[in-house]
Amino acid sequence: MAGRNGKNKTARNMLLSLAVTIPVAGTGYLLLPHEGSGRDPVRTVAYQVEVASARRAAPYPVVAPEGLGADWRATSVWYRQEPGGGKVWHLGFVDPDTEYVQIEQSDGPAGDFIEDSTQHAEPTKRTQRVGDTVWQRYEGEKYNALVRTEHGATTVVAGTASDRRLTEMAAALRDGKADGKPDGKPKS
């Protein structure tokens, strides 16, 4: 009789364990995103208010893209004072190819800022003209970048995106001035 009660208790315990485990696993399966679910995991953000606020607060001309298609989705935005003394503007996007592109600007020391913004990419000997502006090309294991320093600020366009998409973002940057040019020069 003692052996029989032990088997009954074992079977009962197993059934109770399954009764708890199956609903928890089912709930997890339903709530967690998985491939093919049709849900887009990218959370987009509106950034127009933050751009306006940063432009009022920053000691340099804050740039943001204008005229990009709806397939460019903003994913992060912030403006803050860094411990090293610089004021940093950040705006991140997912491009039409689902790669990451960010714009970062700072009036702090350029060396550390560029290293952080480009994820330790190295400057190349190549430059690229985008509109009237010359950008220095950087290449790295994680990010490639376009970098320029003018008007007291360093601007970095960096990410996992192709060089074509980085250039497209750099070309779309405007500082909100009436002439529409990031450097304040009249349109040619």
DSSP state of 58: -
| Residues 113/88, Cβ–Cβ less than 8 Å | yes
| Residues 60/152, Cβ–Cβ less than 8 Å | yes
DSSP state of 184: S
Q: Which amino acid is at 109?
A: P
Placement of tokens 């702090």 in the chain: 108
What is the reported pLDDT for 82?
87
What is the reported pLDDT for 5?
64
What is the reported pLDDT for 184?
44
| Residues 54/79, Cβ–Cβ less than 8 Å | yes
| Residues 145/81, Cβ–Cβ less than 8 Å | no
What is the reported pLDDT for 6?
62
Q: Which amino acid is at 35?
A: E
Taking the CA of residue 113 as centre, how many other CA atoms within 13 Å lie in the half-sphere pointing to its CB? 26
pLDDT tens for the chain, 188 residues long, are 555 566 667 877 877 787 778 777 777 667 766 555 556 677 899 999 999 999 999 999 999 999 999 999 999 999 999 887 799 999 999 999 999 999 999 999 999 999 999 999 999 999 999 999 999 999 999 999 999 999 899 999 999 999 999 999 999 999 987 554 444 443 33
What is the reported pLDDT for 4?
56
Count the Cβ atoms, other than its own, within 10 Å of residue 78. 12
> What's the pTM?
0.74
| Residues 184/61, Cβ–Cβ less than 8 Å | yes
What is the reported pLDDT for 96?
97
